[in-house]
Structure 1
């Protein structure tokens, strides 16, 4: 049993999000070569492969949503609001974001939107839990 499941799943989500850059950066290195890719600190080179462009957008979207998700999880934890609903919300968020990244990478539009909405509902669930306690 995990003592702090919300923090555990938040940590996994942050780690996963931090790795989402790897495919498109690898593609940039293949496209430009290691030296030229390293000499592009401002990201001025456009990724040629459509999948790499989608991977980059999916990574940015994951980071943008982590900014909302992480504080909610931390507040739930600090206020001691752990329950089955919050645990389910953080687990579901993790897998929804993983799925969102994968289907975004492959360019699957409707499922991507559905998975985004699932992750958003998880955020709202955590927010309502906090608001219900204060």
Structure 2
């Protein structure tokens, strides 16, 4: 039986999160009395309640970082380059993204917490990019 690397397991969990983060946004639109025809036309984001706006942005933020991170993890896997560094980076990235989404939707992760979390996620992407190049050497 083939071993399933932790990085790919974490990536799977991250993609489940990305595929599910639309749910708070849709719940928010569906429960907003001012959005009578919520699904007849695209909602005007600025007219929605603040937490619904933040849910939309949390989903976009995850896609902004999650897709590049996913591609980098798959490249490292393809190059058979997983190390302790990629192991811990993937775990850190996942929990940073969970904290970012929860903090953003709840409205508790404002300045400077949310940008710090986002920047830490970017650093995880850069570390994984380094791992791609290191595996190719």
Distance of 1:113 and 1:93 partners within structure 2: 14
Aligned counterpart, 1:25: 26
Aligned counterpart, 2:90: 90
Q: Which has the higher helix share?
A: 1
CA contact 2:100–2:117 (8 Å) conserved in 1: yes
Distance of 1:44 and 1:98 partners within structure 2: 25
Deviations 1:26-65 (A, max 9, x none): 01011235xx22322xx24435211110110111111111
SS where residue 38 of structure 1 aligns? coil
Aligned counterpart, 1:69: 69
CA RMSD of aligned residues (A): 1.5
> 5+ unaligned residues in a row in structure 2: which ranges?
none
The TM-score, its normalising length taken from structure 2, stands at 0.86
Deviations 1:74-132 (A, max 9, x none): 01111111111101011100000011112222152211111111111111111001112
The TM-score, its normalising length taken from structure 1, stands at 0.88
**60 and 54 in structure 1: CA distance in 2 versus 1, 3 angstrom threshold:** same
- Deviating beyond 4 angstroms after TM superposition, the runs of 4 or more aligned structure 1 residues are none
Mapping of residues 1-134 of structure 1, within 5 Å: 3-31=4-32, 32-33=35-36, 36-40=37-41, 43-46=42-45, 47-105=47-105, 106-107=107-108, 108-134=110-136
